[in-house]
Structures are given as structure tokens and as C-alpha cells.
Structure 1
């Protein structure tokens, strides 16, 4: 029963943590495209949204070429994932709608698997790394956009451009705090406090992740070691059972030989008795 249960857990095949992270980023990028297309925003906010979208496109393209390099059959990969490359091309708004197909493909993978939690738990390191990447992109993007919208019209504000908003978000989430750009409004201070707390939590998770990489063994390595131990135990049990059966057969053969020997001795003694009677 244990082996069957373990086999069923390993046979669960669902989307990888990075596929789920790319799906969330695709949803976010589609939202950016909708805002850029249908909303009237000022020039600096539009530049900031375009910068964020281009950065997400570069992430998509890097993952596409990485998976293409790893794929054993590159023609097959290109045939089934060419839409990922098309959706990763920046600065062409018409092609960005192709990211909807990325989302639909991952949703189809989610629907095809019986559970989503167990595959993520079995790939704990990939899940942590994908979650950190996704959280960093979302926090930086959201914080920079909101702080630019809030501070742009405030009196005495020094965060006026897309570059300044991105720089402030990077400095704040890293808790460095250069102080060259800072919010002046109450809402900006609240946003800054949230970003600082998020940054502390974010780098705390990174520290724990790095510790697990160098200290704790990988879950797949543990499972392989457990599997090897189980195979060795099963092999030893098989050898022990075979030896016991062989010893049992030898004992049976020995008993049969002793029985045959007694029977032969009985017959010999009977023949001797008959010879003596004839004499």
C-alpha cells in the first residue's frame, strides 16, 4: 500500500511552479495592455507601464530560450510553444494579446491535474524561487505605479518621472533608503511603509531559501535516497526469502534421504533374515 501511494504521488503531473508564475505575470501584463490601450494616463505613467511591460517581456523571452535550450526535441518545442515567443516580443501591443493563449494553456494544465498543491510541495525549491521572482516583479511594478500616481500631483514631491518611481521602489524594497527620492504625501508614506515591510519579508524568505539550498537536501534527492533504500531492503528481503526457501528444500531433501536410507536398511535386514532362514 505504501508503494502504491508513493507511486500515485509521483505520477501527478501538473504545471510547474515557473509555469504558474508565468501565468500570473501574463495576467498582469494583459492588465497592463488593457490599461495602456483603453485608459487615459499621463505621459510619465504610460512610460512607466511600458517599462514594466517590457521588463516582463524580457522575462518571458529569457524563459522561452532557456526552455528551448533544454528541450531534447527543439522542433517539437517550437511547434507547440511558438506563441510564447510571439507574446514575448515587446513594444508591439497587438502581439501582447497573444499572452492570453499562455494563460489558457496553463489553465488547461491546471484542469488536467487532480491536485495543484502536491506537485508544488514536491518541488519546494522551484516553488520558492518562482514565488520570489513573481513577488519581486509585482511589488516593484505596483509600488512604482502607485507612488507615481500619488506623488505626481503632490506639493513639493520629488518623484515625478518613471525612472524616479522605479528607483524609489528598488531602494525602498531593498531597505537601503538612500533618501534621494522620498514620498511627501500621507498616502505615499503609507505605501512606503507597506513596501518596506514587504521588502523585509521578501529578503527574509530569500535568506531562508539560500539556507535551504546549502544546508537542507533537495526533496528529490531525499526521495531518490529513500527509493534506493527501499530497493536495497526489498532486494535483501528477496535474497533472505530465497535462502530460506533453499534451506527448507535442503532440509526436506535431507529428511527424504534419511527416510530412503532407513527404508534401504530395513530391506537389507529383511533380505539377510530371509537368507538365514534358508540356511
Structure 2
């Protein structure tokens, strides 16, 4: 078991939101690969799933090389993330199943609830961006695949190719609604309605995130001003305490001196 763990990706470090996002995308990618391998699909649906898999692999490779460039120890990074690189090569289909190791890493980390939740709470901005990335890829994947399956081969349908389905999904999720491609079946209308609702929610989160980027500096400035005021008040309180302590010591000394004089007079 120890020998196997030595060759698996490292899971001892604290999990970041983007690492979790890559692992969730790995699950989605494995599902796509399984469908491509075992499901009976028409040619256009296979092309669409292949395009989606290539897009996810591009995200994987971008994340891998970004981490490699930022890493101080390149060899250590490659040694602990080599399987991520191998699993991200879209042209080597058998190696795509290596992404299962990433999912096993998620399961292992979920069992360690503290190491799984606390980093996400600490890194809210990164968690937001990672969530948006996963949501975007997931919605585009399912919506484009479903609409192509439902509309392909239907008379008068204008969504017939993989490119048509991806373009329709992008336009619909953004709620732009060009109208050049649209579903003609009832099932297609239902899928479109769900995608529109998801798109409104998706871009609502993006708007809130962008607003927080502009508001955050003002809040940081306000917190800094408040902390300066608190520090100033603390210094003033300490100075007053010091003055009071000096006066108290002087009064005690005077009292002791008076007591000595009284004792001398009584004698």
C-alpha cells in the first residue's frame, strides 16, 4: 500500500478551491469518456463530447502549467502532479481514466472534513472563481449534449451539429438570445428554460463577485482606519493608566510620610 501511495498525487497539502474544482471537472471528464467509450451515440453527439473533453483537458493543462510556473521547486511539483499532466492529454484515450485517481483524492480529503472545508472558507474569492468555472463547464456540457440529442434528426430543427449545440448553449446561458439557433421540440424548450434560469443565477453571482472587487478596497480602508483609531484609544488609555498609577504611588508615599510623622509625635 505504501508503494502505491508513493506514486499517487500528493494529498497531504491543504486543498485549495481550484484543486477541488479540477477534481470535480475530472469526475465530469470521466463521465464524458465513459459515455464516449460505451454508449451508442450518433456521429454529431460523439463530436460534441470529444470537443467538450478537449476543452476540459485544455483547462487541466492550463492549471498544471500555471502551478508549475508558480512552483519554487519544479521537480517536486512534477513528482507530485505528474498524473494530472498524463490524464490531461486528450489524444491518449486509455490514460484519461487516470483522472479517477483525482476523484479518489477528493474522497480521501472529504473524509478529512477540516482540511476540506476550512481552506474554502479562508479563500472565498478563489472558491467563488473555482465554483464559477465548474458551473460554467458543467452547464455548457449537459445543456449542449442534451439539446443535440433531443433536436438532432427532428424535421425543421436547426440545431444539428456539435458546433450549433455549443453556440446555442453559450447564447442561452448568457441570456443574449440571438435567435439564430433555437429548439423546436417540447423537451428542447424545457432544457432551454432550465439553462436560462441557470444562466441568470450564474451571471448574478459574477455580478456580485465583480461588485465585491470594487467594494473590498473601501472596506479594507475602513477597517484600517478603525484599527488605527482603536490603537490610538488604547495608547491614550495606557497613558492615563500610567499617570493615575504615578499619582497613586505619590499619594501612598505622602500617606506613609504622614503616618511616620504621627508615630513620631505620639512617641
- TM class, shorter-length: 0.7 to 0.9
Distance, in Å, in 2 between the alignment partners of 1:236 and 1:94 is 67
How many angstroms does 1:239 deviate by?
Answer: 5.8
How many angstroms does 1:116 deviate by?
Answer: 4.2
- 1:156 aligns to 2:159 (yes or no): no
How many angstroms does 1:260 deviate by?
Answer: 11
Give yes or no for contact 1:132–1:202 (8 Å, CA) kept in 2.
yes
In the other structure, the counterpart of 2:69 is 69
Distance, in Å, in 1 between the alignment partners of 2:74 and 2:218 is 29
In the other structure, the counterpart of 2:195 is 195
In the other structure, the counterpart of 1:186 is 186
Distance, in Å, in 2 between the alignment partners of 1:31 and 1:43 is 18
Shifted more, 184-193 versus 251-260: the winner is: 251-260
In the other structure, the counterpart of 1:133 is 133
How many angstroms does 1:107 deviate by?
Answer: 2.8
Greater Rg, structure 1 or structure 2?
1
In the other structure, the counterpart of 2:104 is 104
How many angstroms does 1:243 deviate by?
Answer: 4.2
User: Aligned pairs, how many?
Assistant: 254
How many angstroms does 1:70 deviate by?
Answer: 1.8
How many angstroms does 1:139 deviate by?
Answer: 0.5
Give yes or no for contact 2:15–2:115 (8 Å, CA) kept in 1.
no
Distance, in Å, in 2 between the alignment partners of 1:210 and 1:91 is 37
Consecutive unaligned residues of structure 1, counting only runs of 5 or more, are 1-12, 271-279
Query: Against the structure 1 CA distance between its residues 183 and 225, is the aligned structure 2 distance closer, same or farther, given a 3 Å change threshold?
Result: same
1:78-89 pair list within 5 angstroms: 78-89=78-89
Query: Against the structure 1 CA distance between its residues 232 and 149, is the aligned structure 2 distance closer, same or farther, given a 3 Å change threshold?
Result: same
In the other structure, the counterpart of 1:94 is 94
- What TM-score do you get using the length of structure 2 for normalisation? 0.79
In the other structure, the counterpart of 2:39 is 39
State the Cα deviation string for residues 202-261 of structure 1 (Å, max 9, x = none): 111111111011113599x69x969x77x959x859966994897499559946984898
Give yes or no for contact 1:14–1:110 (8 Å, CA) kept in 2.
no
In the other structure, the counterpart of 2:6 is none
In the other structure, the counterpart of 1:275 is none
In the other structure, the counterpart of 1:215 is 215
Give yes or no for contact 1:19–1:106 (8 Å, CA) kept in 2.
no
Query: Against the structure 1 CA distance between its residues 61 and 241, is the aligned structure 2 distance closer, same or farther, given a 3 Å change threshold?
Result: farther
- What TM-score do you get using the length of structure 1 for normalisation? 0.76
Distance, in Å, in 1 between the alignment partners of 2:15 and 2:25 is 15
